Amino acid sequence: MVPAVGRTFQWLLAACAVLLIAWAFLTVGIRELGRLLSTDARTEIVVMHWSGEGGQEEDAIVEAALARFTADNPGIRVRRINPGDAGSFYTKLQTMMASGDPPDVFYVGSERVPSFVDLGLLLPVDDFLAADVEQKVSDRLDLDGFYPATVAAFRFDGERSGQGSLYGIPKDFTTVGFYWNKDLFAKAGVSPPRDDWTWDEFIAAARRIGTLPDCTGAEFVTWPAMVRAYLMTDGLDIKGTSFEMLRTGEPAVFESLDRLRGWRHDERGALTSGKSKIASGSSVFLSGKVGMAGPFGRWVVPSYRKIPPPSQGGFDWDFVPLPRGKTEANIVLTVSWSISAQTAHPEESWRLVRFLSGEQTQRDLAKLGLAIPTIRAAAESSAFLDPSLPPANDAGYLRAAEVAQIVDWPVNPQFEALMGSRLDQGLKTADVPLPEAIANFERDWNAECASPLRGASLAPMPWDAIGLAAILLFVLVAGVWMVRLRSGSLTGREREDERAGYALASPWIVGFLLFMAFPVAMSLLLAFARWKGVSPLAQADFAGTANFEQIFTSDARFRTSMRVTLWYALIAVPTGQILALLAALLMNTKVRGIHLFRAAWYLPSVLAGVGVSVLWRWVFDSDHGLMNMALEPLLKPLGIVPPEWFGADAGVWGAPAFAIMSLWFVGGTMMVYLAGLQQVPADLLEAAAIDGAGPLRRFFSVTLPMLSPVILFNTIMAVISSFQVFTQSFVMTGGEPGDLTRFLVLYIFNQGFEFYEMGYASALAWILLVIVLVLTAIVLRTSNRWVHVEGGAK
Amino acid sequence: MAPVILQGVSKVYANGVKAVDCVSLSIADGEFVVLVGPSGCGKSTTLRMIAGLEEISSGSLIVGETRMNDVPARRRNMAMVFQNYALYPHLDVRRNMAFGLERRRSHGSLLKALLNSTYRDKRTAERKAIDARVSAAAATLGIESLLHRKPRELSGGQRQRVAVGRALVRDPVAFLFDEPLSNLDAKLRGEMRTELRLLHQRLRATMVYVTHDQEEAMSLADRLVVMKDGVVQQVGTPTQVYGRPANRFVAGFVGTPTMNFINGTIEAGGVFRWSAGTLQLPQARWVGLSGWQGKPLELGVRPDQIRVGTGSSRGRVIAVENYGDRMDVVIESGGLRLTSRSPTAPLREGTESSFELLLESAHLFDPAAAGNSLPHLSPTSTA
């Protein structure tokens, strides 16, 4: 019974709780209201960009440019958002678009134009350009002064890139080629490459350099765009007349790809085997042991400029465009300033785009060395051509630009992902014969094209009906709740206490309903929907069970990710438990400084995920990684070569590598075991010793059974977390090569945040939940056979 | 079965605490020895050193003819019953009892058992023998019906029996009991005491029993070992320890109610002077004690040697505890409280009463000599 004073206090607290909720909603409301009633008559334009490789300098240049713009345009206020690198940028852009509040002006990579246009996210700028000409605007853009391919990259007519409306003004671009180590070329007696060199010369140089001690001829990245660029130099491509008609079956295409595979896998020393350099192929060049690295664009230059000269232990380097095959070709990779289709201020936005894409801003940005101005005059000026800084061959990029084409992509962003993962299995890791890898790619892409989820028109999601049903359900539940609250055997006092309790818990309850229950329920609904995560929810279509059908019948990547995840769980769960238990046994001994040892074991568990992942990427590097350096002397006498963890051997060793890495975090589990061990009654162990049991027998017959509830708990936690691997694979491998380290959660992320298939991702997430539930149920079911619970209750 | 001999056994912990100080003790084959003393006296540590659960800091432990100091517990072949029973909670009663026997069974791989039929037969025979012994021990203790239960399904008394049974099935060189009855209620404790005594009579096994309960010790022991602060105070049969306590500590520790102690001095003629007057010691008691004349001494009188209602001394009755068959009466006299035990005493609290001290078997202790008992000269030796 609560005394009267306590009761007043109780209600005071409850009132505080309710006020807290009201305040949370009010602050947001007032902010919005303030914006609405703002006396600032200026138009607000929201600009979003990234500054990945450009870093703070790029950030500062954009900021300065915006300051100049607002000075010239006093009627416009600019709010700038820079989420960091391109990845964070696109995630932020996606959430802003989905919430119906996208920035007005933002960066768009040319590869995203088809899918963004398809989703109706971008505003065409042709009319603005025409109007500028008509009105003879002084700083109007003259597209003829731009490199044509860069402009073509942002044209899309709904089916093809390079034609149709223009969806942004390219701000800068790059062509691609190889960065070459001048010192190694000289050492190997290879003459410097000319801008019009051939693939024969390329491979001859690579082979010669590969004979130098510890050196490899070239690092050749097999990113989809680069593979297509490579084919273009033979006058070929993956894509036929359309993306539905692949040319992969053509003998010439196969021959060309097989030549690349052969260079990498049939000979030693010519090309790196593409071992662990998945995440950042360009950094291999920094070692000074690789003759050439590419095909890369201009973006590597800022980091390569940090290579010291030979006198300080570094080396000299330069750039050379992509070699010629049957023809001379190159590609442009470019980023535009584009305008949101939903902008409320198209006119002002265009003025900003025109300003930011203008020559002055381009010249400023060119000084970063990161990219080439798209305006020819700026590119050919000293802003870009800077003889005082490497690479000496700045002109090489511009020469390549003359023959460069756009690399177009279909509306469905899965094409690039599938091409990358499937062809990599043949080209990069060679764990699948090339014809099979190509066939897999064709099969998966054709399945993707034929999917009922693509293209076919579906009925819109009946949100009204769902909302009505939800309200009815809510009313029903609330009603039953109220009735239960009123009835029951509670006295008036108890009922009052109960109400006060609910009022006190209300901040949590409201938070739970809003931020947990609602999203969970939404994801369940979306699992039966087709919804592009970048469009408003109202545009979601009802897909029935199509998501699940596709997942289970034709999604090879799902099966691969399932296999990877299970393989990982199979290794990580038992080894993690055994190691944690052994460590706990060690930490349970009475040794001087035991607290120090315990802390040391626990320490890795408190370290941040991304930093640790970067560290372990180095550890598992096939050539210079700690793991293989340790394994080599052990395995060499047996005639075994250490595995290329995230390379050729990723199919078998990729997931185990992550499992090994997970052992780094056993400290937490160890602590739980340690607590369990300290609960094992000493007299039981003594009784067993008296009964003649040795240390091992005591462990297995007494300690282990007494620890079984802890083992059960830890095992369930481990099973659950083994299905949640994300950060490691996202940071270390990105799921590559060939999806062989693409864990289920990473795949869900890819579907949701790269392909914007939120419905599909929701379906995958629910499948993951069911799998985890089933596995947990199995563990619990078997537990009464092996878990001993004190006190009788199971 | 074998004799157990402790020769100057000491236990010193790492922090310098001396838990057991130079204990020498010879336990004969088949003897029931009880180590008794207040908590912290080192009795359990001594037992654990015998069991091999504590390392012996110095001295020797000899079982049979073998020095056991460095033999691990599991090879000493002793059986022990723990205070908390220490039953394996995950095993049923049968497997709890069989645990020690299983450990001593031949061990080999399952493969060996599959391939080698002789070995297989041997194992089967062993298993049968174990089952038989467990059943026999269970029958002895009357717990056959509990064999398939888990310890948590048993009452305290039943657990106690299982713990004893687990020791019983083995054929150990000695049984060790570490306060096995202290978790039972008084009634059950009494019953178990009798059963243990009977068990010992039947087995004639060497048993070492630790308790802080002197009554339990007296009732069970062939021989008592009274300990205090790690040092053995007295070793002897219950009669010896009760009748001729070696020192004031033993005298005070053994017997219920506790012995009455009266401070005073001996004067010429065997007169003991204390705060409430003088007492005349019988001739047999004071002869030969002339050397202690005038020195402060303590006179010890058991409660059953104080009669109330008769005699010349007077005191006030401050408490009467009626047990039905006897009465304990606390009398205040000369600033001292004396407890008397007598069959009947029609007294009321708060009244004055006369009382008499029977001093034929009184004890004298010398506080100057660590409370040691003054020599008792038996009537024969005085003659």
A189 within some domain: yes
Instruction: Tell whether omega for the bond before B257 is within 30 degrees of 0, i.e. cis.
Output: yes
What 3 state SS string does B223-268 have?
A: EEEEEECCEEEEEECHHHHHHCCCEHHHHHHCCCCCCEEEEEEEEC
Torsion of CA B247, B248, B253, B258, to 10 degrees: 140
* Under 8 Å between Cβ of A182 and A189: no
Eight-state DSSP code of residue A516: I
Partner-chain contact A690 B75, CB within 8 Å: no
B94 and B222 fall within a common domain: yes
Please report, for chain B, how many H helices and E strands are present, in that order. Answer: 11, 20
A257 and A356 fall within a common domain: no
Taking the CA of residue B43 and the nearest CA in chain A, the distance in Å comes to 17
Q: In this complex, how many residue pairs, one in chain A and one in chain B, have their CB atoms less than 8 Å apart? A: 69
Closest residue in chain B to residue A681, using alpha carbons only: B86
Residue ranges in A179-312 assigned as alpha helix (H): 182-187, 199-210, 224-232, 251-265, 301-304
For A122-172, the pLDDT digits (tens) are 999 999 999 999 998 888 889 999 999 999 999 999 888 888 999 999 999
A526 within some domain: no
Closest residue in chain A to residue B51, using alpha carbons only: A690
Taking the CA of residue B80 and the nearest CA in chain A, the distance in Å comes to 7
Q: Which of B195, B213, B294, B221 is nearest to B256 (CA)?
A: B213
For residue A104, the domain's CATH number is 3.40.190.10
B117 within some domain: yes
* Under 8 Å between Cβ of A583 and A765: no
A525 within some domain: no
Taking the CA of residue B94 and the nearest CA in chain A, the distance in Å comes to 14
B250 within some domain: no
Q: Does A696 reach chain B within 8 Å, measured CB to CB? A: no
Q: Does A688 reach chain B within 8 Å, measured CB to CB? A: yes
Eight-state DSSP code of residue B378: P
B251 within some domain: no
A594 and A718 fall within a common domain: yes
Q: Which residue has the tokens 């390569």?
A: A304
Q: Which of B373, B333, B131, B73 is nearest to B251 (CA)?
A: B373
pLDDT band at A794 (very low <50, low <70, confident <90, very high): very low
* Under 8 Å between Cβ of B38 and B31: no
Partner-chain contact B80 A687, CB within 8 Å: yes
Q: Which of A78, A71, A80, A81 is nearest to A43 (CA)?
A: A78
A340 and A289 fall within a common domain: no
Examine the pLDDT at A280 and tell me if it is beyond 60: no
A249 and A356 fall within a common domain: no
pLDDT band at A771 (very low <50, low <70, confident <90, very high): very high
Examine the pLDDT at A1 and tell me if it is beyond 60: no
Torsion of CA A208, A212, A215, A218, to 10 degrees: -10
- Of A280-294, A632-646, B98-112, least confident by mean pLDDT is B98-112
Q: What is the pLDDT of residue A456?
A: 65
For A297-306, the pLDDT digits (tens) are 998 998 898 8
Partner-chain contact A692 B72, CB within 8 Å: no
B349 within some domain: yes
Partner-chain contact B90 A705, CB within 8 Å: yes
Which 3 state secondary structure label does DSSP give A254?
helix
B203 and B288 fall within a common domain: no
Of B53, B75, B152, the CB nearest to A791: B152
Closest residue in chain B to residue A702, using alpha carbons only: B88
Q: Which of A299, A370, A356 is nearest to A58 (CA)?
A: A370
- Residues of chain A with pLDDT > 90, as a percent, come to 42
Burial pattern A613-648, b for ≥16 Cβ within 10 A else e, equals beebbebbbbbebebbeeeeeeeeeeeeebbbbbbb
Q: Which residues of A touch B100 (CB under 8 A)?
A: 690-692
Partner-chain contact A692 B103, CB within 8 Å: yes
pLDDT (mean) for A543-571 = 90
- How many folded domains does chain A comprise? 3
Q: Which residues of B touch A697 (CB under 8 A)?
A: 103
Q: Which of B256, B276, B253 is nearest to B328 (CA)?
A: B256
Question: What distance in Å separates the CA atoms of residue A278 and residue A745, rounded to the nearest whole number?
Answer: 19
Question: What distance in Å separates the CA atoms of residue B298 and residue B249, rounded to the nearest whole number?
Answer: 12
pLDDT (mean) for A379-408 = 90
A247 and A348 fall within a common domain: no
A282 and A300 fall within a common domain: yes
Say if strands B223-228 and B32-36 run parallel, antiparallel, or are unpaired.
parallel
Residues 6+ apart with CB under 8 A from A720: A772, A776
Eight-state DSSP code of residue A212: S
Note the pTM of the prediction, 2 decimals: 0.76
A140 and A182 fall within a common domain: no
Of B225, B245, B265, the residue at which a domain comes to its end is B245
Residue to substitute from B88, B97, B130, B208, interface A, most A β-carbons within 10 A: B88
Element (H, E) at B27: strand B18-27
Which 3 state secondary structure label does DSSP give B321?
strand
Q: Please state, as a whole number, how many other Cβ atoms lie within 10 Å of the Cβ of residue A272.
A: 25
Partner-chain contact A702 B88, CB within 8 Å: yes
B299 and B344 fall within a common domain: yes
Partner-chain contact A687 B88, CB within 8 Å: yes
A346 within some domain: yes
Residues 6+ apart with CB under 8 A from B219: B193, B197, B238
pLDDT (mean) for A723-733 = 87
For residue A607, the domain's CATH number is 1.10.3720.10
Question: What distance in Å separates the CA atoms of residue A10 and residue A5, rounded to the nearest whole number?
Answer: 9
* Under 8 Å between Cβ of B357 and B264: no
Taking the CA of residue B82 and the nearest CA in chain A, the distance in Å comes to 8
Q: Please state, as a whole number, how many other Cβ atoms lie within 10 Å of the Cβ of residue A278.
A: 22
Closest residue in chain A to residue B90, using alpha carbons only: A788
Q: Which residues of B touch A708 (CB under 8 A)?
A: 90
Of B74, B77, B152, the CB nearest to A693: B74
Closest residue in chain A to residue B83, using alpha carbons only: A683
Partner-chain contact A683 B82, CB within 8 Å: yes
A276 and A363 fall within a common domain: no
Q: Please state, as a whole number, how many other Cβ atoms lie within 10 Å of the Cβ of residue A786.
A: 12
Partner-chain contact B74 A689, CB within 8 Å: yes
* Under 8 Å between Cβ of B18 and B52: no
Residue to substitute from B54, B76, B87, B99, interface A, most A β-carbons within 10 A: B99
B252 within some domain: no
Taking the CA of residue B102 and the nearest CA in chain A, the distance in Å comes to 9
B299 within some domain: yes
pLDDT band at A278 (very low <50, low <70, confident <90, very high): very low
Question: What distance in Å separates the CA atoms of residue A562 and residue A765, rounded to the nearest whole number?
Answer: 12
Q: Determine the structural domain holding residue B308 and report its residue range.
A: 257-382
Q: Which residues of B touch A790 (CB under 8 A)?
A: 89, 152
CA distances from A346 to A43, A44, A767, B240 (A): 11, 11, 43, 113
Burial pattern A581-595, b for ≥16 Cβ within 10 A else e, equals bebbeebbeeeeeee
For A641-677, the pLDDT digits (tens) are 888 888 778 888 888 999 998 888 888 899 999 999 9
A530 within some domain: no
Partner-chain contact B152 A792, CB within 8 Å: yes
Q: What is the pLDDT of residue B292?
A: 83
Of B53, B84, B153, the CB nearest to A689: B53
For A236-268, the pLDDT digits (tens) are 998 888 888 888 888 999 999 999 999 988 888
pLDDT band at A230 (very low <50, low <70, confident <90, very high): very high
Considering A300-314, A568-582, A627-641, B107-121, the range whose residues carry the highest mean pLDDT is A568-582
Q: Which residue has the tokens 């042709």?
A: A126
Partner-chain contact A690 B99, CB within 8 Å: no
Eight-state DSSP code of residue A392: S
B235 and B274 fall within a common domain: no
Of A686, A701, A702, the CB nearest to B53: A686
Beta strands in A380-450 (DSSP E): 404-406
Of A684, A697, A791, the CB nearest to B86: A684
A651 and A598 fall within a common domain: yes
Burial pattern A312-337, b for ≥16 Cβ within 10 A else e, equals eeebbbbbbbbbbbeebbbbbbbbbb
B180 and B76 fall within a common domain: yes
Burial pattern A210-236, b for ≥16 Cβ within 10 A else e, equals beeeebbbbbbbbbbbbbbbbbbbbeb
Q: Which of B37, B21, B26 is nearest to B3 (CA)?
A: B26
Partner-chain contact B86 A681, CB within 8 Å: yes
Q: Which residues of A touch B153 (CB under 8 A)?
A: 792
- Numbered residues of chain B with Cβ closer than 8 Å to any chain A Cβ: 51-53, 72-80, 82-84, 86, 88-90, 99-100, 103-104, 152-153, 166, 170
- Of A40-49, A434-443, A516-525, least confident by mean pLDDT is A40-49
B133 within some domain: yes
For A445-485, the pLDDT digits (tens) are 888 888 877 766 788 888 889 999 999 998 999 899 888 77
Taking the CA of residue B47 and the nearest CA in chain A, the distance in Å comes to 12
Taking the CA of residue B53 and the nearest CA in chain A, the distance in Å comes to 7
Partner-chain contact A692 B82, CB within 8 Å: no
Residue ranges in A588-723 assigned as alpha helix (H): 594-602, 609-619, 626-635, 650-662, 666-677, 682-690, 695-698, 704-722
Examine the pLDDT at A792 and tell me if it is beyond 70: no
A90 and A213 fall within a common domain: no
- How many folded domains does chain B comprise? 2
B215 and B282 fall within a common domain: no
For residue B35, the domain's CATH number is 3.40.50.300
Taking the CA of residue A691 and the nearest CA in chain B, the distance in Å comes to 4
For A681-703, the pLDDT digits (tens) are 999 999 999 988 888 889 999 99
For residue B318, the domain's CATH number is 2.40.50.140
- CA–chain centroid gap for A568, Å, is 20
Q: Does A705 reach chain B within 8 Å, measured CB to CB? A: yes
Element (H, E) at B19: strand B18-27
Burial pattern B110-143, b for ≥16 Cβ within 10 A else e, equals eeeeeeeeeeeeebeeeeeebeebbeebbebbeb
Q: Determine the structural domain holding residue A273 and report its residue range.
A: 177-321+412-450
For A580-626, the pLDDT digits (tens) are 999 999 998 888 889 899 998 888 888 877 888 888 888 888 777 88
Question: What distance in Å separates the CA atoms of residue A628 and residue A642, rounded to the nearest whole number?
Answer: 6
Q: Which residues of B touch A699 (CB under 8 A)?
A: none
Q: Which residues of chain B have pLDDT under 70?
A: 1, 104-110, 113, 345, 376-383
A76 within some domain: yes
B367 and B309 fall within a common domain: yes
Q: What is the pLDDT of residue B278?
A: 85
What one-character-per-residue DSSP string does B79-125 give?
EEE-TT----TTS-HHHHHHHHHHHTS----HHHHHH-HHHHHHHHH
B168 and B21 fall within a common domain: yes
Which residues are registered as beta bridge partners of B210?
B35, B178
Q: Which residues of B touch A792 (CB under 8 A)?
A: 152-153
* Under 8 Å between Cβ of A749 and A730: yes
Q: Which residues of A touch B168 (CB under 8 A)?
A: none
Q: Which of B370, B368, B365, B362 is nearest to B338 (CA)?
A: B362
A193 and A46 fall within a common domain: no
Q: Does A66 reach chain B within 8 Å, measured CB to CB? A: no
Closest residue in chain B to residue A705, using alpha carbons only: B90
* Under 8 Å between Cβ of A788 and A708: yes
B376 and B235 fall within a common domain: no
Residue to substitute from B50, B74, B159, interface A, most A β-carbons within 10 A: B74
Of B245, B274, B308, the residue at which a domain comes to its end is B245
Of A423, A450, A477, the residue at which a domain comes to its end is A450
A248 within some domain: yes
A670 and A600 fall within a common domain: yes
Of B245, B268, B297, the residue at which a domain comes to its end is B245
Taking the CA of residue B149 and the nearest CA in chain A, the distance in Å comes to 12
Q: Which residues of B touch A689 (CB under 8 A)?
A: 52-53, 72-74
Q: What single-letter amino acid sits at B199?
A: L
B241 and B264 fall within a common domain: no
A655 within some domain: yes
B221 and B324 fall within a common domain: no
Residues 6+ apart with CB under 8 A from A454: A412, A448
B229 and B303 fall within a common domain: no
Examine the pLDDT at A276 and tell me if it is beyond 70: no
Of B82, B103, B153, the CB nearest to A693: B103
